[in-house]
Amino acid sequence: MQGLLKYGLLCLILLTSTGTSWGSEEQLEYYRDSSTAMSLFDIKKSDTPWQATTFNKANFGFTSDTLWLRIQLNNPSSSKIIKHIRINYPLLDHVDAYLTQQGETLEHKYLSDRIAYNESRQHDKYYLFSYTLDPEAEYQVYIRVETQSSMTLPIEIFQDAEYIQKKTFENYWFGALYGTLIIMGLYNLIIAITLRSLVYYLYVGYLSGFTFLISALNGDGFQYIWPQSPNFNNLSPLIGAAWPSLFTLPLAYYFLQVKKFAPDLAKVYKGLYLLVLISIPCLLFLDYQASSKLMNGLNLIFSPIILLTAINFAWHRRPGAKTFALAWLALVISLTLLSLSIYNVIPSNPYTRQAYSFGGLLELVIISLALARQINQSIVEKNQALEASETHLSKYLEMVTQSPAGIFSCNGNGAVINHNPAFLKILDIKENEVDQFNLFKQLSKEANEIYPLIEQIKQGESIIGLPLLCKTFNSQDKWLTITLSLQQKAEVVSIEGQITDIHDRMSRQQEKEFHERQRMESLKLLISGISHEINTPLGNNLTTLSFVDGIYNDLNNTCIDSQKESLATLKTSFELLQHNEQRIAQLVKRFSMVSTGYLQAEPVCIGGKEMLQNLVINHQEKLQGLIIDTSYSGPKTFISYQDPLIIILEGLIDNSIKHGLDNVEAPHIEIGMKIKDNSCELSYQDNGKGIDGDIKDQIFQPFFTTSRGNEETSGLGLYAIDNIVRNLFKGSLKIEDQAGFYITIKLPELKGETQ
């Protein structure tokens, strides 16, 4: 890089070291023609004095005037010499040169970038006028310049040898410049394609736009690439200014990671880029001067913003920011020099004219080095991440190997692809028997149970922790929990999962459930037997009490007054006996209901919303101020056991009224019912005192009550609900840990079809 910079500086010095800028022999004067209509004859006859200028003043910025230049050429030697007058700015529209001697026009030449290059130029990209001067002769050259671009007139006068030397060094400089840019562009394009890096693509786009701009500003594009397209050449500087502008802001945005480190500033970048995108189509509708000012103005706006962003990020030690700031500083300085020279703020000279080329090249080289450094850092980080990934993978494989759960993968037909040792142990398989093993056939004893699940997996759904009774390889039944999911890598589809041996736990649970069912059956038989044995004498007692009541009424009508006091005492004792007999009858009725009565009901068509509304009507007046809110979600009607459902809901409401809401100021009950796919979910909540945590496991036991001695409670209400839910609907109940009494009931089998 240092060698490249030294070579560029040497060429730039040599570019400015040859040629004469109107020295003692040549004099330069200029005349402004505001009318743009004056001819050479008019100029010669004009009384307006010409103004002398120097090398540093040969720049007039953007102007609509026509400029006339007058140069005095002398040949003091005794032999003919050739002198070359060259305007080193290729973007002038029309240039006329008149060679005169003693008031007579000897030669007229016309050069323009509005006609094909080969029709007007003399193998020079600039405006070159060559004249053979006679010995000891004096001449005057009048040059008329008209242009829409900047009226920049850097004139140099050479003798033949000086011109050849100048051209040689220019060829060296621009050859090195374009060669470097092309090589860098191709090299970074290959990297961009290889790495598929957005930043590299943006860099290549910016570099190619910069190369196009340099070729347009220096006239090389018109000389070598589009010599037959003067109209395109007239637009090429604007295209060259717009092209890199499309990539400048995105390059800085992604290279500096603005969105990551400064999210608010990222919005500014997006707004500026939107401004660029809006401005570029406007170039089609503006004249050359306005378009040029617009693009230069945009560059002068966002270039300092990018530079300040890079400096700020460098201060905070963001990756790559310091190098990017250095690169952009070189560009901003060169761009500023070029823009100021175009607007005639500073003199136009070879240094200011070529500053953009050299500064831009320096910037591109530094950014290229920064990108290479970023890529190297990225490779290092990826290698570190790969090593860490390999370490994690090794630990993961070790964990899988030592896991007590069976971990496996299989293809879509059930053939096992990979497995860990626990998988073989759980299913009683030897390593050499795996090829004969089909996972789908072993996962369940019934094919119609597992294959719907496999189809569900192939549809992209997952199964997590599903308990299944499976067969081992030796055809022994074993309870397992199955977890399955579909995995797709490239075009390979597999099913991955794990199995856990829960056979001992399920056996203990089944044994516990069996004993619980036996206990409940025994209890129901006991209750049924007691109810039956008590029911007959109880009925006789109630009949006898009714008969005695009739005798009492006859005696009370016929007895004397002295006997009525004794009869009143007898009446009180009789009423107490009758009340107790009725309580016994109610208990017997409840015993019968718990044992068998409502478990033999038939399914009927139920309107869910109407059933809940009737519950509200029948129970809202049981407690003063009670509000019952209901919600229903599901089909309009469904088929199920209506009486058991009503018993469940009425039992819950009665339980709240008797035990939870008795001292509540604003009693409130919420009942929710959801019907879906022949299953039901009930939610019930009141704002009462709730259930103490230490008795949650006892409230569904028979005869358990927190109001012992209360004539209206028997301890069978919640037990009856639990009995119906579990035995009739095969459902479950759960007391939730929330305020008040909150229970959820799931009924998976409604015993009918929804409509």
Q: Does residue 659 sit in the same domain as residue 692?
A: yes
What pLDDT does 12 receive? 44
The Cα angle at residue 189 between residues 188 and 190, in degrees rounded to 5:
90
Distance CA 355, CA 217 (A): 12
What pLDDT is recorded for position 10?
41
Backbone angle region of 158, left / alpha / beta, with phi > 0 → left and psi within -120 to 50 → alpha = beta
Secondary structure string (H, E, C) spanning 427-438 = CCCCHHHHHHCE
Q: Is the pLDDT of residue 687 over 80?
A: yes
Task: State how far the Cα of 128 lies from the Cα of 167, in Å rounded to an integer.
Answer: 12
> Do 524 and 667 have their domain in common?
no
Task: In whole angstroms, give the CA distance from residue 635 to residue 686.
Answer: 26
Q: Give how far Cα 605 sits from Cα of 458, 602, 754, Å.
A: 37, 10, 9
Confidence of residue 435 (pLDDT cuts 50, 70, 90): confident
CATH code: domain of residue 84: 2.60.40.2380
Least confident of 366-370, 651-655, 693-697: 693-697
491 is in which domain, residue-wise? 403-501
159 vs 153: CA distance, rounded Å:
19
Q: Can you say how many angstroms the Cα of residue 224 is from the centroid of all Cα atoms in its chain?
A: 48
Same domain, 177 and 324: yes
Please give the pLDDT value at position 109: 92
How far apart are the C-alpha atoms of 339 and 304, rounded to whole Å? 14
Residue 328's identity, in one-letter code, is W
List the end-to-end C-alpha distance of the chain, in Å, as a whole number: 83
Same domain for 586 and 637 = no
Supply the pLDDT for residue 69: 92
CA dihedral 742→747→750→755, nearest 10 degrees, is 60
For residues 455 and 683, the model is more confident at: 683
Whether 205 contacts 212, CB under 8 Å: no
Q: Are 588 and 599 in contact (CB under 8 A)?
A: no
> Is there a domain that residue 393 lies in?
no
CA atoms of 213 and 247, how far apart (whole Å)? 14
Task: Note the pLDDT of residue 135.
Answer: 92
Q: What are phi and psi of 729, to 5 degrees?
A: -100, -5
Q: Which of 7, 327, 43 is nearest to 169 (CA)?
A: 7
How far is the C-alpha of 644 from the C-alpha of 713, rounded, in Å?
20
Burial label, 665 (beta-carbon count in 10 A; 0-12, 13-18, 19+):
exposed
Q: How many other β-carbons are positioned within 10 Å of the β-carbon of residue 231? A: 10
State the DSSP H helix or E strand holding residue 130, giving kind and residue range, or none if neither: strand 127-133
> Residues 738, 674: contact at Cβ < 8 Å?
no
Mean of pLDDT over the chain: 78
681 in Cβ contact with 747 (< 8 Å): yes
Whether the per-residue pLDDT at 4 is higher than 50: the answer is no
Taking phi over 0 as left and psi of -120 to 50 as alpha, with beta for the rest, 718 belongs to alpha
Whether 22 is in a domain gets the answer yes
- Closest CA relative to residue 449, chosen from 426, 467, 431: 467
Same domain for 144 and 37, yes or no, is yes
Contacts of 180 (CB under 8 A, 6+ apart): 4, 361, 365
247 is a domain residue: yes
Asked whether residue 386 is assigned to any structural domain, the reply reads no
Residues 153 and 72 in one domain: yes
Write down the residue that tokens 């035995």 correspond to: 727
- Picking from 438, 471, 501, the residue at the C-terminal end of a domain is 501
Percentage of the chain beyond pLDDT 70 is 77
C-alpha distance from residue 138 to each of 26, 30, 99 (Å)? 10, 19, 11
Contacts of 383 (CB under 8 A, 6+ apart): none
The number of distinct structural domains making up the chain is 5
Asked whether residue 17 falls in the same domain as residue 124, the answer is: yes
Torsion, CA 317, CA 320, CA 325, CA 328, rounded to 10: -170
Higher pLDDT, 542 or 41: 41
- Residue 739 has what pLDDT? 75
Report the distance separating Cα 331 and Cα 345, nearest Å: 19
Summarize pLDDT for 337-373 with one digit per residue, the tens. Answer: 776 766 666 666 666 667 777 777 788 888 888 888 8
pLDDT at site 281: 86
**Inside any domain, residue 249:** yes
How much is the average pLDDT of 250-270?
89
Q: What is the pLDDT of residues 14-25, one digit of tens each?
A: 444 444 444 334
Which pLDDT value is given to residue 690? 72
In a domain, 394, yes or no: no
Asked if residue 313 lies in contact with residue 321, where contact means CB atoms within 8 angstroms, the answer is yes
Do residues 174 and 145 share a domain?
no
d(CA 749, CA 755): 15
* The two three-digit tokens of residue 164, written as one number: 């050849």
User: What percent of the residues of the chain are helix, what percent strand, and what percent coil, each to the nearest 5?
Assistant: 55, 20, 25
Final residue in a domain of this structure, among 539, 560, 595:
595
Q: Examine the domain organization and report whether 625 and 539 are in the same domain.
A: no
**Most trustworthy range by pLDDT among 103-112, 462-471, 507-516:** 103-112
**In 197-320, which residue ranges form alpha helices assigned H by DSSP?**
198-217, 220, 230-255, 258-261, 263-282, 288-315
Task: Beginning with the edge strand found earlier in the chain, give each strand of the sheet holding 668-676 in spatial order.
Answer: 627-633, 668-676, 679-686, 742-747, 732-735
Rounded CA separation 225/215 (Å): 9
Nearest 5°: the CA angle 44, 50, 51 is 160
- Residue 349 backbone zone (phi > 0: left; psi -120 to 50: alpha; other: beta): beta
Q: Are residues 616 and 585 part of one domain? A: no
Instruction: Provide the phi-psi class of 74: left if phi over 0, else alpha when psi is between -120 and 50, else beta.
Output: beta
Query: Residue 619's domain is classified under what CATH number?
Result: 3.30.565.10
In-domain check, residue 291: yes
For range 301-305, the mean pLDDT: 83
**Phi–psi pair at 437, nearest 5 degrees:** -95, 130
Domain with 269 in it: what CATH number? 1.20.1070
- How is 516-553 classified by DSSP, letter by letter? HHHHHHHHHHHHHHHHHHHHHHHHHHHHHHHHHHHHHH
Mean pLDDT of 127-144: 92
CA nearest neighbour of 416 among 402, 385, 437, 389: 437
In a domain, 419, yes or no: yes
Q: Which DSSP helix (H) or strand (E) runs through 681?
A: strand 679-686
Rg of the chain taking only CA atoms, in angstroms:
51
Three-class secondary structure assignment of 699-711: CCCCCCCCCCCCC
Q: What number of CA atoms fall less than 13 Å from residue 17's CA on the CB side?
A: 10
**Phi and psi at residue 502, in whole multiples of 5°?**
-120, 25
* Same domain membership, residue 208 and residue 131: no
**What does the pLDDT look like over 561-618, one tens digit per residue?**
656 666 667 667 666 776 666 666 656 655 555 554 444 467 888 888 888 888 777 7
Instruction: List, in order, residues 6 or more apart from 521 with CB less than 8 Å away.
Output: none
Query: Are residues 372 and 407 located together in one domain of the fold?
Result: no
Dist. CA 483–CA 462, nearest whole Å: 8
* Residue 129 confidence (pLDDT): 92
| Confidence (pLDDT) at 399 | 87
Residue finishing a domain among 595, 611, 634 = 595
